[in-house]
Structure 1
Amino acid sequence: MALAHPALLLSLAVAVVGGGDARKEVETVPILIEEPRKRAASKEESREIVSGQHVQVKKSWERPGVYAWGSNAGKVAAPDSNEPVIKTPRRIPYFDGQLLRDMKLDRDFGVAITEKGDLVQWGAAFDKNHTAPVVTLKGKDLTKLAISRDRIIALSSNGSVYSLPVAGADQFSREKPANSSWFPFWSEASPLTYRVLKPQNMGWGEKIINVKSGLEHSLFLTSKGRVYSAASSTESFPAKGQLGIAGLTWKTRPEGPFDQPHEIGALSGFKIKSIATGDFHSLVLDDGGRVFAFGDNSTGQLGFEPEPSVAYADIPLLLPVTKLYSGTNMLPKVTSIAAGGSNSFFTVDATKVQSRKGGDEVVPAWDLGRVVSETWACGEGIKGSLGTGKWTHISSAPTKIKALSGLNEYDEKANSVVPIRLSHLSVGSLHACAILDNATHVDASSRTSSNDTNFGADVMFWGFNEWYQLGTGKRSNLNTPTYLGPLDGVPTDADLIRKPESNRFQITPRKTVRLGEGGSGRTASVEQRVECGRNVSAVYSGT
Structure 2
Amino acid sequence: MIGARSLSRSTPRLLHPAQSCRLSTKARPQTRAATHPYAQRRQQHFVRSVATVTALWATATAWQWYNGGTIFREVHAEERVKEQEEPELALEKPRRAATSKEDNRDLISSQHLQVKKSWENPGVYAWGSNVGRVVAPGSSQPYVKTPQRIPFFDGKLLKDIKLDTSFGAAINEKGDLLQWGTAFDKEAMEPVTTLRGQNLIQLAISRDRILALAKSGTVYSIPVSREEQVAGKKPILSSWLPFWGSSPIDVSARIRTPESLGWNERVTNISSGLEHALLLTSSGRVFSMASGSEHYPTRGELGIPGLQWETRPAGAFDLPHEITTLKGFPISNIATGDHHSLVSDAAGRAFSFGDNSAGQLGFEFNPDSSFIDAPSLLPTQKLYSGSGQQASVTNVFAGGKTSFITIETIKPNFSAKAPGRITADTWAFGYGLTGQLGMGRWIHTQNSPMKVPSFSSLFEYDETNDSVIPIRLAYLSVGDKHVAGVMDNVASVNVGRKHTENETNWGRDILFWGNNEFYQIGSGKRNNVSQPTYIEPLDRAAESERTMSMLGLAKQKPEKEMHRFQITPRQNVKIEGRNVSVEQRVECGRGVTAVFSAV
Q: TM-score when scaled to structure 1?
A: 0.88
> Do structure 1's residue 200 and structure 2's residue 256 form an aligned pair?
no
SS of residue matched to 1:531: strand
Specify the SS of the correspondent of 2:444: coil
Structure 1 distance, partners of 2:97, 2:423, is: 45
For 2:121 and 2:257, locate their aligned partners in 1 and report how far apart those are by CA, in whole Å. 39
Structure 1 residue 331, shift from structure 2 partner: 1.4
- Give CA deviations for 1:185-226 in whole Å, capped at 9, x if unaligned: 854543210000131321111110011000000000000000
* Structure whose residues are more often helix by fraction: 2
AA aligned opposite 1:298: S
2:541 maps to 1:541: no
Give yes or no for contact 2:360–2:402 (8 Å, CA) kept in 1. yes
Shift in Å, 1:521: 3.5
RMSD (Å) for aligned C-alpha atoms = 2.3
| Contact kept in structure 2, 1:292 and 1:318, CA below 8 Å | yes
Q: C-alpha separation between the residues in 2 aligned to 1:108 and 1:400?
A: 34
- In the alignment, structure 1 residue 217 sits paired with structure 2 residue 273: no
- Looking at CA atoms only, which structure, 1 or 2, has the larger radius of gyration? 2
Q: What's the secondary structure of 1:397's corresponding residue?
A: strand
CA contact (8 A) 2:217 2:257 kept: no
- SS in structure 1 opposite 2:540? coil
- The answer to whether the 8 Å contact 1:53/1:502 transfers is no
1:472 is matched with 523
Distance 1:495 1:375 in 2: 36
- Alpha-carbon distance in structure 2 between the residues aligned to 1:222 and 1:462: 32
For the pair 1:383 / 2:434, whether they are aligned, the reply is yes
Q: Residues 484 and 314 of structure 1: is their aligned pair in 2 closer, same or farther, counting only changes over 3 Å?
A: same
Q: Residues of 1 paired with 2:139 and 2:562: CA distance? A: 32
Of 397, 420, 436, the match for 1:338? 397
Residues 37/145 of structure 1: CA separation in 2 closer, same or farther (3 Å cut): closer
Q: Describe the superposition over 1:383-418 as per-residue Cα deviations: whole angstroms up to 9, x where unpaired.
A: 001101110000131111001111110011221111
Tell me if structure 1 keeps the 8 A contact 2:161–2:203: yes
**C-alpha contact 2:360 2:447 (8 A) present in aligned 1:** no
The answer for the alignment partner of 1:412 in structure 2 is 463
Task: Choose the corresponding residue for 2:334, options 265, 272, 275.
Answer: 275
Residue 529 of structure 1, CA deviation = 0.3
Which one-letter code corresponds to 2:202 in the other structure?
Answer: K
- Equivalent residue runs for 1:149-298 within 5 Å: 149-180=207-238, 184=243, 187=246, 189-298=248-357
SS in structure 2 at match of 1:218: strand
Task: Tell me: CA distance 1:313–1:38, structure 2 relative to 1, closer, same or farther (3 Å).
Answer: closer
Counterpart Cα distance in 1 of 2:319 and 2:130: 34
How far, CA to CA, are the matches of 1:186 and 1:159 in structure 2? 20
Task: Tell me the secondary structure at the aligned position of residue 308 of structure 2.
Answer: coil
* Distance across 2 between alignment mates of 1:541 and 1:301: 32
* Partner Cα separation in structure 2 for residue 206 and residue 231 of structure 1: 22
Match of 1:130 among 188, 207, 211: 188
Aligned residue identity for 1:220:
L
Superposition map of 1:17-36 within 5 A: none
Contact 2:361 2:447 in 1 (8 A): no
Question: Match of 2:534?
Answer: 483
Contact 2:390-2:409 within 8 A present in 1 as well: yes
How far the C-alpha of 1:131 sits from its partner, in A, is: 3.8
Q: How many residues align?
A: 499
Q: Distance in 2 between matches of 1:409 and 1:37?
A: 31
Aligned counterparts, 1:363-378, within 5 A: 369-378=420-429
The SS at the match of 1:211 is strand
Runs ≥4 residues deviating over 3 A: 35-38, 179-189, 363-368, 493-502
Aligned equivalent of 1:102:
160
Partner of 1:524: 580
**Alignment counterpart, residue 93 of structure 1, candidates 135, 138, 151:** 151
Match of 1:114 among 162, 172, 196: 172
Q: What do residues 288-330 of structure 1 show as CA deviations (whole Å, max 9, x unaligned)?
A: 0100000000000001111111200100000000111111222
Q: Please, which runs of 5 or more residues in structure 2 have no aligned partner?
A: 1-59, 61-92, 552-558
The question of whether the paired residues in 2 share the 8 Å contact of 1:176 and 1:194 is answered with: yes
Q: Show the counterpart of 1:358.
A: none
Task: From 489, 493, 504, give the equivalent of 2:564.
Answer: 504
1 or 2 for the larger relative contact order (CA 8 Å, sep ≥6)?
1
Give yes or no for contact 2:483–2:513 (8 Å, CA) kept in 1: yes
Give the Å deviation of 1:180. 3.8
Match of 1:57 in 2: 115
Q: Distance in 1 between matches of 2:407 and 2:449?
A: 12
Asked if 2 retains the 8 angstrom alpha-carbon contact of 1:52 and 1:495, the reply is no
Distance 1:365 1:309 in 2: 52
Return the alpha-carbon distance in structure 1 between the equivalents of residues 155 and 226 of structure 2: 26
Q: Distance in 2 between matches of 1:147 and 1:95?
A: 20
Residue 204 of structure 1 aligns with an amino acid whose one-letter code is W
Provide the residue aligned with 1:13 in structure 2.
Answer: none
Tell me the distance in 1 between the aligned counterparts of 2:247 and 2:261: 27
Q: 2:578 is matched by which residue type in structure 1?
A: R
Matched residue SS, 1:380? strand
Q: Helix, strand or coil: the match of 2:376?
A: strand
Q: Is the 8 A contact 1:124 1:131 kept in 2?
A: no
2:544 maps to amino acid: T
